[in-house]
């Protein structure tokens, strides 16, 4: 049912918007890129409030099939536009964190603001200028702790630091910020997380990053200077990275789902093109070299789709191989889909490079997923660490 609802929304609302004006994603003013009706319609279809508890008006999802359901929905949305999928995925993930770790009265306050405003976005702020891979591995020693610090002052935490490369960072209304609260421990024992609302004095949005793809999601940077938040805005004390683990695994599955959606979009447009375009006296699909490429694209998509279902099921079932599988599918999907998009570009000939045709956009969007939620190499490290914890698991500092 969710797949059908999402497919209708993507076919009727998202794709016409994307195709109508290919220059929109390149507008310099990020606020002008995505028209407000896109999120309004997502809201009307119930796609924005997944992860918000039912008592606050959200769409309930069965925890036993959460990753599988979200993967289906994210695939469909990314088929229309992966930047839009990025926007919504961040909202789902942060909603889950708040619903698990914030006091009930704060949930009521934040979720009611969220429910009232379809343009309300949320962001997850981990990465800093000095790097993110150490956080993902994690390299758990004190000298690589978060540079962002939070210190207690009476009833408030005071946060100072800079977060970069943040999805929704430019236009979010609510940020979950990770900060060091115990410099004597490694980051797994000394990192806390806080909800910081955009209008909090001391929080400044300093830039919108111009990225190669996923451009309908405004990636940005924030600076916190003497930013005071009440004590009850803390979500996790000193073990924030462990607690964030509730969405780290589904997060990897969702990156793979977004890759798959991009690949499906590129494939479907390419299949249509090779059935219309004539060279050598017949439509392209009747040339065997072209047909072989289509078979290769379809096989890669099936392989990604099968591994995605398998990994999402493992995450939902808390199976022992879930850690390895969610990283495997993230890496496998991102690489395979770049390959699928390359085939799409080649089969479109010169049209593949033209902005107004849109095939090049799939390639640009696919490239982003090589880095999302950890680089390919760091994700591969996590795979071998999960499989061989006593040997490979010990390569990067104390565990
Ligand atoms: C579009 C986009 C959206 C993003 N959204 C968010 C977000 O919402 N929130 C957030 O917190 N972050 C976000 N990020 C940041 C992202 O998670 C990081 O960019 C990514 O994890 C890599 O970190 P880095 O850029 O600091 O590169 P680095 O960590 O400096 O890595 C550079 C290179 O070194 C390699 N490397 C690093 N450590 C090792 C090692 N021990 N051994 C071998 N090789 C190593 C890496 O694989 C990579 O090739 C986003 C990034 C992008 C591009």
How many whole angstroms separate alpha carbon 207 and alpha carbon 220? 5
How many whole angstroms separate alpha carbon 43 and alpha carbon 28? 26
- Residue 192 in this model has a pLDDT that exceeds 60: yes
**Which tokens hold the place of 178?**
């990770």
Q: Per-residue pLDDT tens for 165-189?
A: 999 999 999 999 999 999 999 888 9
**Which tokens hold the place of 227?**
């930013």
- State residue 269's pLDDT score: 98
Main-chain phi, psi angles of 62, to 5 degrees:
-70, 120
Cβ 308 vs Cβ 257: under 8 Å = yes
Global pTM reads 0.96
Q: Whose CA is nearest to atom 14 of ligand 1?
A: 165
Which mutation among 127, 210, 383 tests ligand 1's pocket best, with the greatest number of atoms within 8 A of CB? Answer: 127
Question: How many residues are there in the chain?
Answer: 399
**Which tokens hold the place of 350?**
């010169």
- State residue 131's pLDDT score: 85
- Residue 395 in this model has a pLDDT that exceeds 90: no
- Residue 313 in this model has a pLDDT that exceeds 90: yes
Q: Whose CA is nearest to atom 11 of ligand 1?
A: 126
What is the second-level CATH architecture of the domain 123-241?
Beta Barrel (2.40)
**Crossing angle between the packed helical segments 82-101 and 359-368, to the nearest 10 degrees:** 30
In the reported structure, the alpha carbon of residue 132 is separated from the centroid of ligand 1 by a whole-number distance in angstroms of 5
Q: Whose CA is nearest to atom 37 of ligand 1?
A: 133
Q: Which helix (H) or strand (E) holds 29?
A: none
Closest C-alpha among 241, 190, 221 to residue 128? 221
Cβ 116 vs Cβ 109: under 8 Å = no
Of 14-18, 132-136, 334-338, 367-371, the one with minimum mean pLDDT is 132-136
How many whole angstroms separate alpha carbon 232 and alpha carbon 156? 8
Binding-site residues, ligand 1, Cβ < 6 A: 124-127, 131-133, 136, 165-167, 211, 214, 219, 368, 371-372, 374-375, 377-378, 396
Cβ 165 vs Cβ 219: under 8 Å = yes
Where residue 396 falls among pLDDT bands split at 50, 70, 90? low
What does each C-alpha distance from 278 to 274, 281, 304, 348, 393 come to in angstroms? 8, 6, 31, 12, 54
**Which tokens hold the place of 216?**
């309908």
Residue range 2-119, CATH number: 1.10.540.10
Q: Which atom of ligand 1 is nearest to the CA of 168?
A: 8
Q: Per-residue pLDDT tens for 144-158?
A: 899 999 999 999 999
In the reported structure, the alpha carbon of residue 131 is separated from the centroid of ligand 1 by a whole-number distance in angstroms of 6
Q: Whose CA is nearest to atom 9 of ligand 1?
A: 166
Enumerate the H helices of the chain as residue ranges. 2-9, 15-20, 36-44, 66-80, 82-101, 104-116, 133-136, 187-190, 240-276, 288-316, 322-347, 359-368, 376-387
Burial of 36: CB neighbours in 10 Å, binned 0-12, 13-18, 19+: exposed
In the reported structure, the alpha carbon of residue 43 is separated from the centroid of ligand 1 by a whole-number distance in angstroms of 31
Which mutation among 375, 377, 394, 399 tests ligand 1's pocket best, with the greatest number of atoms within 8 A of CB? Answer: 375
Which mutation among 126, 165, 330, 370 tests ligand 1's pocket best, with the greatest number of atoms within 8 A of CB? Answer: 165
In the reported structure, the alpha carbon of residue 287 is separated from the centroid of ligand 1 by a whole-number distance in angstroms of 42
- Among positive and negative, which fits the CA dihedral 55, 61, 66, 72? negative
Q: Whose CA is nearest to atom 12 of ligand 1?
A: 127
- State residue 399's pLDDT score: 46
Q: Which atom of ligand 1 is nearest to the CA of 211?
A: 1
Q: Whose CA is nearest to atom 50 of ligand 1?
A: 165
Report whether the peptide linkage leading into residue 138 is cis, meaning its omega lies within 30 degrees of zero. yes
Q: Whose CA is nearest to atom 26 of ligand 1?
A: 131
Q: What is the DSSP letter of 182?
A: -
In the reported structure, the alpha carbon of residue 26 is separated from the centroid of ligand 1 by a whole-number distance in angstroms of 24
Q: Which atom of ligand 1 is nearest to the CA of 169?
A: 8
Cβ 223 vs Cβ 180: under 8 Å = no
Q: Whose CA is nearest to atom 34 of ligand 1?
A: 133
Q: Whose CA is nearest to atom 1 of ligand 1?
A: 368
**Which tokens hold the place of 81?**
């536009």
CATH fit for domain 246-394, picks 3.40.50.2000, 1.10.238.10, 1.20.140.10, 3.90.850.10: 1.20.140.10
- Residue 398 in this model has a pLDDT that exceeds 70: no
Q: What is the DSSP letter of 13?
A: I
- Residue 293 in this model has a pLDDT that exceeds 90: yes
In the reported structure, the alpha carbon of residue 368 is separated from the centroid of ligand 1 by a whole-number distance in angstroms of 11
Q: Per-residue pLDDT tens for 84-97?
A: 999 999 999 999 99
What average pLDDT does range 232-247 have in this prediction? 91
Q: Which residues of 378-388 are buried (b: 16+ CB within 10 A; e: fewer)?
A: bbebbbebbee
Q: Which residues of 172-203 are buried (b: 16+ CB within 10 A; e: fewer)?
A: bbbbbbbbbbeeebbbbbbbbbbbbebebeeb
Work out the mean pLDDT of the chain and round it to a whole number.
Answer: 95
**How is the chain split into domains, by residue range?**
2-119, 123-241, 246-394
In the reported structure, the alpha carbon of residue 313 is separated from the centroid of ligand 1 by a whole-number distance in angstroms of 27
């Amino acid at each position: 049912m969710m797949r059908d609802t999402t497919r209708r929304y993507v076919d009727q609302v998202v794709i016409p918007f994307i195709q109508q004006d290919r220059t929109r994603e390149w507008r310099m003013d990020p606020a002008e890129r995505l028209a407000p009706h896109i999120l309004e319609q997502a809201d009307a279809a119930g796609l924005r409030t997944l992860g918000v508890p039912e008592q606050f008006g959200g769409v309930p999802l069965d925890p036993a099939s959460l990753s599988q359901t979200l993967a289906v929905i994210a695939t469909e949305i990314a088929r229309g536009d992966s930047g839009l999928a990025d926007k919504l995925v961040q909202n789902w993930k942060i909603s889950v964190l708040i619903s698990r770790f914030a006091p009930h009265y704060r949930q009521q306050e934040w979720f009611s603001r969220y429910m009232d405003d379809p343009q309300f976005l949320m962001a997850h702020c981990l990465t800093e200028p000095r790097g993110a891979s150490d956080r993902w591995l994690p390299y758990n020693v004190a000298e690589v702790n978060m540079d962002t610090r939070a210190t207690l002052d009476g009833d408030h935490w005071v946060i100072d630091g800079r977060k970069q490369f943040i999805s929704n960072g430019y236009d979010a209304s609510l940020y979950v910020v990770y900060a060091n609260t115990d410099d004597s421990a490694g980051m797994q024992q000394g990192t806390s997380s806080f909800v910081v609302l955009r209008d909090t004095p001391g929080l400044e949005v300093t830039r919108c990053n111009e990225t190669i793809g996923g451009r309908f999601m405004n990636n940005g940077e924030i600076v916190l200077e003497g930013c005071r938040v009440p004590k009850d805005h803390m979500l996790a004390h000193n073990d924030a990275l462990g607690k964030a683990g509730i969405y780290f695994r589904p997060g990897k599955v969702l990156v793979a789902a977004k890759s798959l959606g991009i690949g499906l979009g590129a494939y479907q447009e390419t299949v249509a093109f090779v059935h219309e375009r004539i060279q050598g006296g017949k439509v392209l699909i009747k040339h065997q070299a072209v047909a072989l490429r289509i078979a290769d694209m379809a096989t890669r998509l099936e392989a990604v789709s099968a591994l995605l279902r398998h990994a999402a099921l493992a995450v939902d079932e808390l199976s022992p191989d879930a850690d390895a599988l969610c990283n495997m599918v993230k890496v496998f999907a991102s690489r395979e889909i770049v390959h699928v998009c390359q085939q799409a570009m080649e089969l479109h000939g010169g049209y593949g490079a033209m902005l107004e045709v849109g095939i090049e956009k799939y390639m640009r969007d696919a490239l982003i997923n090589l880095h999302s939620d950890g680089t390919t190499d760091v994700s591969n490290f996590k795979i071998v660490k999960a499989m061989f914890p006593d040997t490979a698991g010990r390569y990067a500092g104390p565990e």
